[in-house]
Structure 1
Amino acid sequence: MALLKLRFSLPRRVRLAQGLWLLTWVTVLAGAFTFSLGVYLKTELLRRAEVMDNTEIHVVPNILILVGLVIIGSNIVAGRICQDSLHSARFPPWKPFLLPWYGLTWMVCVWLFSAVVLSYALQGQLEESLKVGLRNGIRFYRDTDVPGRCFQKETIDKLQMELRCCGNTNYKDWFEVQWISNRYLDFTSKEVKDRVRSNIDGRYLVDGVPFSCCNPASPRPCLQYSLTNNAAHYNYEHQSEELNLYNRGCRQALVDYYMGLMNAIGPVVLSVILLQMSVLLSLRYLQTSLDGVDPENPEADSEGYILAKGIKESLMDVKTTILKVLQFGQVTAAADEEVGVGPSGEKAATSN
């Protein structure tokens, strides 16, 4: 018994073709929007590439870009099929292409759904990538004279000001690295010598942060140095001065930013999947209803359906077909071995 069988009169078939043509062009626009989302997300990830340790998260925008292009192309073809379906002589040439088109459409929906799943599943990898990338960025902050790291200071400063964050986890991460270049240190000063000697690695460590960590909402001028010394500043208590510096770490700020993008993209992608599935089912109804038209009476009613048989029977037919193909391949390989056909396709020479 056919699955979801419906009866179509001639006017109903015409309306189906016309409505489907309009739906395909709406889906083309949705594909263009999906492509644009992928490009935007890719651009945002590349913009922060210097503070990322790996590029695994790039698989999500790559899928959106690829699938967006496929949706545009496949639905332009579907729109042309809808136009030609109104003319009995133009539709039959499209029939051999419909089965591959259905398969491609299913793959598109699977790819889109996988992009939504991966956008949430890769959150842990994204956070770990940012953790390592920011840690290296803070460590190389002072290397403004080292090739390949010249712009690291500018990148970190812009990041902290734009996202209103400080450090990797918090502002105390700056206490653990020497972020001031040696060229700006007076090594004849006793204070500098004492700080360098007090560190086992010979680094100049201070309880201070770069200017980009300063919070402009603070009611007092920004305090960058001697942040843990209450006596160094008048009317100061470092445990309660929450407005002086940004309290949020840049790793959490970036994770929140990117996951916000993913959360916004998810519903849009699911809507595109629904549109694409609507095109697929409608085109299937159009195809089967046109196949059922009597050539001698093209204005008569016809029946359209999704599957010629039930779901269980259709799955069994697919299984049987796959097994036949596999058995045919095994029989062919065995026959080649018996007659001595080599890898090059020539029969092996027999010795007398």
Structure 2
Amino acid sequence: MPFMPVKFNLPKRVKLAQGLWMLYWLSVIVGILIFSLGIFFKIELRKRSEMMDNNESHLVPNLLILGGMLACGVNAFGGKVCHDSLDPMKFAKWKPMLKPYLLLCCGFNVLLLLTAVLCFLMQFAVYLTLAEGLKNGIRFYKDTDTPGRCFMKRTLDMTQIEFRCCGNNNFRDWFEVQWISNRYLDMSNDEVKDRVLSNVEGKYLMDSVPFSCCNPGSPRPCIQHHLTNNSAHYDYDLRTEELNIWTRGCHEALFSYYSSMMNSIGSLAAVSDIWICFLTCYLSTALETMADPENPECESEGWLLEKGVKETFAELLTKLKMLGKTNQVEEVCPAQSTQQTQNIFN
């Protein structure tokens, strides 16, 4: 007995074909949107690739780009089939392709679901990648003359300005690293010497942050040096004064940005084409079961599965078992093998 059968007459088949035609072309637009979001996501990751600890996060935008391209092709073909489905002469040439097309749609939906799941699961990987990448970015901020790190300062400064953040977790991360290159330090200055010699690793540490941490909306001129020294500034108290630098860490800001993007893309990919496959199954079976194909007024029956769910899965498992048996090599007994060899030489 078919699974979820529905009776169709001519008006119902026409409405189903017209509705599917519109949905398919709407899905083409969604495919273009998924492709564009994949490109945008990849560009955003590339822009800050110096602060990303690995390239695993690029798997999601690559799948989105592939899924968007496939969505455009698959849905455009489906729209053409639905447009010609009510003309028996035109539909005859598409009829042999319907089953392979439905199988292709199923595989395509599995790919979209995998992409949607990865959009949610890869957020933890992005979280760890950003934590380690930003930590290294702050450490290599001063290495503007080192190959491979020449643009680290510019990337980190632009990130702090754009996302209104400072440091990895907060602005105090800059106190723990030497972010000014030795070439810009006057080693003949006693204060500089004292700072370098007082540190075990010989680093020039100070309670200051780069200019990109400054909040331009603050009414007070930016205090970016001697942040922990209340006496260094007039009418200033670190414990009560509202700092005129960004207090939010870039790790939190970037992860919030990327995770919101991945959530929205994942939700879009998850619901894009699954429901269209069900309606296409109804349309194809309704057209195949017409008693008289030349008489469009006759009634027909459509369904999702030709048999029940249990029977369909049992039949599929049987086919897979038969396929596995045909690929097995028959075992030959040693005695039989020896006899066959003697017969060949005789």
When normalised by structure 1's length, the TM-score is 0.90
Question: In the alignment, which residue of structure 1 is the partner of 2:231?
Answer: 231
Deviation string, structure 1 residues 232-275 (Cα, Å, up to 9, x no partner): 22222122333322111111110011112123323333341xxx
Letter in structure 1 aligned against 2:205 = L
User: Partner residue of 1:110?
Assistant: 110
Q: Paired residue for 2:316?
A: 318
Decide which moves more: 79-88 or 186-195: 79-88
Change (3 A) 1:321 1:184: same
What is the match of residue 172 of structure 1?
A: 172
Give the Å deviation of 1:296. 7.1
Residue 294 in 1 paired to residue 294 in 2? Answer: no
Match of 1:41 in 2: 41
SS of equivalent residue, structure 2 residue 207:
coil
- Residues 149-171 of structure 1 show CA distances to partners (whole Å, capped at 9, x for unaligned) of 22211111111111111111111
Match of 2:191 in 1: 191
Cα pair 1:217 1:243 within 8 Å, conserved: no
Larger mean CA deviation between 204-213 and 90-99 belongs to 90-99
| Distance in structure 2 (CA, Å) of the matches to 1:237 and 1:101 | 70
Q: CA deviation at 1:309?
A: 1.1
Q: 2:88 touches 2:294 (CA, 8 Å); kept in 1?
A: no
2:330 to 311, 334, 340: 334
Answer with 116-125 or 32-41: which moved more.
116-125
| Mapped partners of 1:124, 1:92: distance in 2 | 50
| 1:45-101 superposed Cα distances (whole Å, 9 cap, x missing partner) | 111111111122222222211111111111111122223322223323333322222
Per-residue deviation at 1:187?
0.7
Contact in 1 for aligned 2:131/2:168 (Cα 8 Å): yes
Q: Distance in 1 between matches of 2:293 and 2:52?
A: 67
CA RMSD of aligned residues (A): 2.3
* Residue 196 to residue 304, structure 1, CA distance change in 2 (3 Å): same
Question: What amino acid does structure 2 have at the position aligned with 1:287?
Answer: S
> How far apart, CA to CA, are the structure 1 residues paired with 2:40 and 2:292?
51
More displaced 10-residue stretch of structure 1: 217-226 or 184-193: 217-226
TM-score by length of 2: 0.91
CA shift, 1:226, in A, is 1.5
The amino acid of 1:198's aligned partner reads: S
Specify every segment of 5 or more residues in structure 2 that has no aligned partner in the other structure, as ranges.
none
Q: Work out the percentage of aligned pairs sharing the same amino acid.
A: 48
